[in-house]
Amino acid sequence: MFNNPLKARGNMTKKIIMALALSFIAFAFKKDDTNIVKDNFEFAAKQLTYALEEITLAIANESDSSIHARSEKGWSELVSPRSLEPDGSLIMVPSKDWCSGFFPGELWYMYEYTRSEQWKNLAHRRTIALEREKYNATTHDMGFKMYCSYGNAYRLTGDTVYRDVLLKSAKTLIKRFNPVVGSIRSWDFGNRYNWKFPVIIDNMLNLELLFWATKETGDSTFSNIAITHANTTLKNHFRPDYSSYHVVDYDPKTGEVRNKYTHQGYSKESAWARGQAWGLYGYMLCYRETGKQEYLVQAQKIATYIFSHANLPNDLIPYWDYDAPEIPNEPKDVSAATCTASALYSLCDLDKENAQKYKKWADTILENLTRSYRAPLHSNKGFLLLHSTGAKPFNSEVDQPLVYADYYFLEALLKKDKLEKGVNF
């Protein structure tokens, strides 16, 4: 057989190029996978530095028309970024806003990862701007605000200044508990819906502050209230398929359920994506703090509901509501995905039998967020992730960055890091 040496050499070159290309792709994926935590924290360091510049400008320059304030009291009250308006302007909020604790929390996570005094000082400054909230009994969002900021501060520094504020916050939060209902009241608004004692699934996250207060003081009042609230929610918020209602309204005199609703979801009977994430995280933390099997079972069932849902996209980043009518032409909610990923990493540690499955889901979420949802550097006023949805029915914060999406993103990355290094968390 006649062999053409030139052709043979050409084929060999092609094979070598192909082999090199394949090993490059494999290396790139491996690198991507093994460095996902480092890569995102390096990105966050630059992006949050830019965010701090934007925030400083926002607070200093009252007349800056690119800043949108969610405060009736004026610019001096603004403490934290929350989201962007559709025109790209920054939404800043005062300490009373439910989102005020997430940005300080992100800065504490930067400190946790880098151990740099610079991040610690920045985090401290943003945290103490929230102190007055310790006496604000008009909201159930105390945990979101104070545990994400002061809670991380105390966990990472052990400074009792933070502890005192946290304990006062926990005492204020339990004023909203009604023993007849067996729940902490979520919202004070709702007259226009004829609500008497609305409780939302989101409220589960605020229980972390109460479990902490009992561990810190030995006073079981706090954890008893948290457990009662978790049991009442378990009984009334969930459907037979383990999806949850957003709002359950109770009669505060009898404890009877008056009605069930949605506020931020598509419809009363739909599964609002972030609500499912709050539920998963909430029962994960209740199991972690109490060891009660029923809470683990609830978290397992919620995870199964989410990850077997026909409307969950392949990238595992959900649309804003699992029953949104125009799927796949609906906005996504990255915040639901980051909160879910963080809860799943914790479950890896708590439910070892299913750990592999949880880790695979959480890793897939983080990989896809890193690849396709990150804001370009020095854009979007310093938010880390794009494509979250705050309240679609009100056309508010639709397909925008949200500060809590970023907070749970960093939290999930830290947990992944610790899990892979065998460090407790």
Q: Which is nearer to ligand GLY, 9 or 268 (CB)?
A: 268
Residues 63-102 as x/- pattern, contact with ligand GLY by CB under 6 A? -----------------------------------x----
Kindly identify the residues of this chain, within the stretch 308-327, that bind ligand GLY according to CB under 6 A.
none
- Closest CB to ligand GLY: residue number: 202
Q: Compute the least distance from the CB of residue 366 to ligand GLY, in Å.
A: 21
Beta 78-84 vs 90-94: how paired, if at all? antiparallel
Give yes or no: 333 in active site: no
Residue 287: in which H helix or E strand, if any? helix 273-290
Classify residue 240 by burial, with Cβ atoms within 10 Å: 0-12, 13-18, 19+.
Answer: exposed
**Is 202 a binder of ligand GLY (CB under 6 A)?**
yes
Q: Which is nearer to ligand GLY, 176 or 274 (CB)?
A: 274
Using CA atoms, how far apart are residues 116 and 185, in angstroms rounded to an integer? 39
DSSP 198-240: EEEGGGGGGHHHHHHHHHHH--THHHHHHHHHHHHHHHHSB-T
Give yes or no: 202 in active site: yes
- One residue of 229, 237, 246, 274 binding ligand GLY per CB under 6 A: 274
Rg (CA), the chain: 23
Residues 111-140 as x/- pattern, contact with ligand GLY by CB under 6 A? ------------------------------
Q: Cis link prior to 328 (omega < 30° from 0)?
A: yes
Q: Compute the least distance from the CB of residue 199 to ligand GLY, in Å.
A: 12
Q: Which of 61, 157, 77 is nearest to 115 (CA)?
A: 157
Kindly identify the residues of this chain, within the stretch 364-403, that bind ligand GLY according to CB under 6 A.
390
Total interface residues for ligand GLY by CB under 6 A? 5
Q: Compute the least distance from the CB of residue 390 to ligand GLY, in Å.
A: 6
Q: What sign does the dihedral 95-100-103-106 (CA atoms) show?
A: positive
Kindly identify the residues of this chain, within the stretch 231-270, that bind ligand GLY according to CB under 6 A.
264
Q: Is 283 helix (H, G, I), strand (E, B) or coil?
A: helix
Q: Which amino acid is at 223?
A: S
Q: Compute the least distance from the CB of residue 393 to ligand GLY, in Å.
A: 11
Which residues in this chain contact ligand GLY in the complex, by CB under 6 A? 98, 202, 264, 274, 390
Residues taking part in catalysis: 141, 202
